[in-house]
A and B are shown apart, each in its own frame.
Chain A
Amino acid sequence: MNLIDHPELADRLAAAYGLGTLRGGARRRFEAQARRSPALRAAALAWQERFASMTELQPGEAPSPNVWKRIEIELANQPRAAAAAPPAQPWARALGWWRGAAVAGGLTTAAAIGVVVYLAGEVDQRESQLAQVNGSRETLARQNVQLAAQLQAQPAIQYVAVLSDEKSAPSILVTFDPAHNTLTLKRVGAFQEGPEKSLQLWALPPSGSPRSLGVLGAEPVIKLTAAESQVRQVPALAVSLEPKGGVPGERGPTGPVLFKGALLQTP
């Protein structure tokens, strides 16, 4: 049924969607129609906004003064918010962070391809490409060339990812050696998590939820064990900031995604 022809029902479903009680197949059908219909999308967003005000109506209560002290301590360890983060559509935001990761992964793909090109020895061609790209990409690509040089020292590598932060600065270099089932992560940025936190590596499959590949230790080079089936066909990897020791893998990340990038198979 096309909901556009049934405005009453459409609004009722939009309200249930905003409340969160529209579930299962009914929810999926509603979402599919909303993606095609700006009016339905607008109704769903309006109800989400209305119900969001529920949070403004709860009786207040002063928290313990310790909370601010803990925040202050954590602030010293936090990476800065990106003042110029690319604007996202609210609807896109609602679709889940890993889609955002996939989009951002796309941005780094060009640079990551550069790594592969370099590995094939076509440095000159790479340089001429470099001249054509804009400033930020150029910087990123040059850094990638340096990273690629580090890579060459490791012959069994078949998968490569350069995980970058929100400012596109390379932060973690990931390589996978299927012969030894070893993921090697090299910290190449300045980020260091606080003592209460751990970084966790995730595979972002083309569909479905992110899957944990393991929790990173604090050392500059980290080795994790992974089977090739865990990374094959995976278009991107991401690293999130989690409570110390990481979170259970099946539920996906709970903290912010700090670094992400496309995973490429080397020729």
Chain B
Amino acid sequence: MDPNLLDQHLIALIDRVAAGGGQRHSDAEAALRELYDLTSSRLYGVALRVVTNREWAEDVLQEAYLNVWRIAGNYHEALSPPLAWMGVIVRSRALDFLRRRASERADTAVELDAVISDSVAGDSPNPMDVSEASEQAWALHECLRQLEARQREVLSLAYLRDLSHGELAEQLKLPLGTVKTWIRRGIEQLRGCMARFA
């Protein structure tokens, strides 16, 4: 589907979810189901990227759609493309999940390491998928594409997993100075590039 048409359709579905109190409950649930069918693969990908474990990512996804159900009425004040709005919800729920887990178990970092070190090894082909992205995401994609793959990875992990320079260095087993340099250069290049899409 054309991204603009898809966005319009997703917004209409979010509105139906928001409108469904009382007698319109079944319509709201049907709308949430369609929203789920259209977006769950993409959002599951986000959850997986943050928590790196299928079972956990499924818990996160469930929480995220229930969250959408509760706060669909707030969508319009967000002024974001619908998929980005939902993506941010998934990211927040995934980060909550990791924080909760970290407080329960001290060995979480060990489990994460194995998965993450794979994802930044070398100059992997561009893993981004732009097929249903909003214009805003397309612009970010074009700009990220101009970075080295490892810089792109560090930026995307910094955002998606909400990691500090120190945490990135620790999790990626890179010197702190290297992480800081990559982030700084990555931000500089993004600034130059994104300015053209403003």
By a beta-carbon cutoff of 8 Å, the part of chain A in contact with chain B is 11-12, 15-16, 19-21, 23, 46, 49-64, 66-68, 70-72, 74-75, 78-85, 87-88, 90, 247-248, 250-251, 254, 256
Contact = CB atoms under 8 A, between A and B. Distances in A.
A37 to B, nearest CB: 19
Given A70-B62, A71-B66, A90-B78, A19 B90 contact: no
B148 interface: no
Contacts of A59: 45, 127-129
A57 B133 contact: yes
Given A20-B158, A61-B45, A90-B78, A56 B84 contact: yes
> Chain B interface mostly helix, strand, loop or mixed?
helix
B120 interface: no
Nearest to A87: B77
Given A53-B139, A254-B99, 6 more contacts: A49-B136, A60-B41, A75-B32, A79-B70, A88-B74, A256-B67
Contact of A53 (B61, B100, B134): B134
A242 B71 CA distance: 17
A63 B87 contact: no
A81 B45 CA distance: 26
B130 A16 contact: no
14 contacts: A21-B165, A54-B87, A55-B83, A55-B84, A55-B88, A55-B160, A57-B130, A59-B45, A60-B129, A67-B62, A75-B29, A75-B66, A85-B74, A247-B100
A81 B160 contact: no
B39 to A, nearest CB: 9
A12 B127 contact: no
B160 to A, nearest CB: 6
Interface residues of B, number: 81
Given A12-B187, A71-B62, A81-B18, A50 B136 contact: yes
Interface of B: 17-22, 25, 29, 32-33, 36, 40-46, 48-49, 54, 57-58, 61-62, 65-67, 69-74, 77-81, 83-88, 90-91, 96, 99-100, 103-104, 127-130, 132-134, 136-137, 139-141, 144, 155-156, 158-160, 162-165, 183, 187-188, 190-191, 194, 198
Nearest to A48: B88
B101 to A, nearest CB: 11
Contacts of A250: 103
A63 B41 contact: yes
A63 B99 contact: no
